[in-house]
Amino acid sequence: MSIEVNIDKFRADSPMTDFLRMERMPHIWCPGCGIGTVVNSFAEAVKKSGMDMDKLAVISGIGCTGRVAGYVNFDSIHTTHGRAIPVATGLKLANPDMKVVVVSGDGDLTGIGGNHFIHAARRNMDIMVICVNNFTYGMTGGQLTPTTPQTANASTTPYGNYEYPFSLPFLADACGATYVARWTSLHARNITKSIREALNHKGFSFIEVIAPCTTLYQRRNRLGDGLDALEYYKEEAGVEKDVDTREVGIDFQGDIAMGRFVKQDKPTYEEAVNERYANVLGDDYQLYGMSKPEREEKAKREAEDRAKMQALMDDEEAQMMAEDMGVDEEGL
């Protein structure tokens, strides 16, 4: 039996056409996998933001989530395992007009790449990091990651996990991230909004999305399919306002605290570099060949753009409220 698909029609009709490399479809992800939701929300957020898509770069590491860079229609680099953040750092510093977004998995970002994660957060490097946390190494067959909850079964902890897991919002917050949020793949609208906010945020922003790996984590732990995962999120995930990130750890199938936990203004790495050099070197200093008045003009322009974007988001939110489109009480 074969299924007839009019791929050209699909491409022409899809609202995602501008955002995805349609010529690379179909993608490799399993049915019910949570990664797709994040990609959709990301595309939606970029679309709504109205930003210049040429000025956005997506960098991924290795893993199922690491494949995101290959499917999105932006300047993109699929790097080595764990190294998306330093590649993103290099690209951002070499070309500061770019908005640089890292999309990768929990193992990639916080296991093998953990050192880069904490240092990029510490520097308040102006990049966004989206972590699809499925509590497992999906691509290699369901092994333990630094986020696997205790007692959960992984292929390398066949008797259940005995290690203490990372709580990623706490880690990011403690390291100096200036925007930290967590959602689940059930909360697509919140993810979209959060990504939009983070696109408009200056500094290191971190968004964790709890998402099912249906093929491995769900199955190995006898948790059912993708729908069962969404059912779990519906039952156990709730928005926490003004919560201390120390309190948001996730136990096996336990509560999931969601929300925007941190949003704070702090000079970015580039701004700190600028300020220090300019203080010491005065007018001799020209980062990327820009004089001080030019730098100030640029900063002013960017701040205005951000304010405009924020106003736009506020308006849209007010309108949605007015139309009672069921904005989740959790709105950001």
Positions that interact with ligand TPP (CB under 6 A)? 62-65, 81, 104-108, 132, 134, 136-140, 145, 213
Token pair belonging to 182: 């967590």
109 binds ligand SF4 (CB under 6 A): no
Tell me the window of 27-35, 52-60, 132-140, 244-252 that interacts with Mg ion (CB under 5 A).
Answer: 132-140
Contact flag: residue 88 with another protein (CB under 8 A)? yes
Q: Rank residues 75 and 231 by Cβ distance to another protein and give the closer one.
A: 75
For the bound state, the minimum distance from the C-beta of residue 227 to Mg ion, rounded and expressed in Å, comes to 20
| Helix residue ranges, H only, 237-291 | 269-281
Shortest Å distance, C-beta 194 to ligand TPP:
19
What are residue 167's phi and psi, to 5 degrees?
-105, 110
Q: Is 284 in the site for another protein (CB under 8 A)?
A: yes
**By the 8 A CB rule, do 47 and 197 touch?**
no
Report the C-alpha gap between 80 and 102 in whole angstroms: 13
Beta-carbon contacts of residue 3 (< 8 Å; ≥ 6 apart): none
Q: How far is the CB of 331 from another protein (least distance, A)?
A: 32
Distance separating alpha carbons of residues 193 and 212, to the nearest angstrom: 21
Q: Which two tokens stand for residue 87?
A: 């590649």
Mention every residue, 6+ apart, whose C-beta is less than 8 A from residue 186.
230, 233, 234, 237
Comparing CB distances to Mg ion, the nearer of 144 and 239 is 144
Exactly one of 16, 20, 33, 68 binds ligand SF4 (CB under 6 A); that residue is 33
Angle at 86 between CA 80 and CA 91, to 5 degrees: 105
Chosen from ligand TPP, Mg ion, ligand SF4, none, partner binding at 30 (C-beta under 5 to 8 Å by type): ligand SF4
Choose the binding region for Mg ion from 99-107, 154-162, 165-173, 225-233 (rule: CB under 5 A). Answer: 99-107
Residue 152 exposure: Cα atoms within 13 Å on the Cβ side: 27
Of 73-81, 164-172, 187-195, 233-241, the segment contacting another protein by CB under 8 A is 73-81
**Judged by CB under 6 A, which of 58, 62, 64, 144 binds ligand SF4?**
64
Q: Which residue from 169, 171, 164 is spatially nearest to 180, judged by alpha carbons?
A: 169
Q: Which does 310 bind (CB under 5 to 8 A by kind): ligand TPP, Mg ion, another protein, none?
A: none
For 176, left (φ over 0), alpha (ψ -120 to 50), or beta?
A: left
d(CA 168, CA 106): 9
Among 44, 106, 197, 270, binds Mg ion (CB under 5 A): 106
Q: Does 134 bind ligand SF4 (CB under 6 A)?
A: yes
Residues 6+ apart with CB under 8 A from 325: none
**Positions 4 through 23 that interact with another protein (CB under 8 A):** 21, 23
Q: Which is nearer to another protein, 59 or 210 (CB)?
A: 59
The CB-of-93 to another protein minimum distance in angstroms stands at: 5
Judged by beta carbon, residue 63 or residue 212, the one nearer another protein is 63
Q: How far apart are CA 145 and CA 309, in angstroms?
A: 37
Among the listed residues 14, 95, 150, 264, the single contact to another protein using CB under 8 A: 95
8 Å CB contact between 92 and 127 = yes
Residue whose CB is less far from ligand TPP, 146 or 259: 146
* Residues of this chain that bind ligand SF4 (CB under 6 A): 29-30, 33, 35, 64, 134, 138-139, 213-216
* Residues of this chain that bind Mg ion (CB under 5 A): 105-107, 134, 138
